[in-house]
Amino acid sequence: MSDTQEPLDNEEYEEICGEEVDRIVESLDRLIEGVQSENVKHLLEEAASNIYFLVYEEETNGECVSDDDLEAAA
């Protein structure tokens, strides 16, 4: 198995619902609030950002994004 993460030409991508992403990011934010370890907190924040950008990356690359969307990514 290759260590690179380049997509294959025939690889299909899953459609991800924005509502699901919002729900997951919200859950991670609640979890982050209860974490004391800065290392774990950092990893959870990074995961939340990565999940958020699965859906909202295109919007932040040229389209308007609401303040609520930006706060959710933080």
Q: Answer yes or no: is 62 within a domain.
A: yes
Q: Answer yes or no: is 65 within a domain.
A: yes
- Global pTM reads 0.60
Residue 65 is part of which domain span? 18-73
Domains in the chain, number: 1
Give me the DSSP letters along the chain.
--S--PPPTT-------HHHHHHHHHHHHHHHHT---HHHHHHHHHHHHHHHHHHHHHHHTTS---HHHHHHH-
Hey, is 54 helix, strand or coil? helix
pLDDT digits (tens, 9 = 90+) for 17-64: 899 999 999 999 999 999 999 999 999 999 999 999 988 876 555 443
Confidence of residue 70 (pLDDT cuts 50, 70, 90): very low
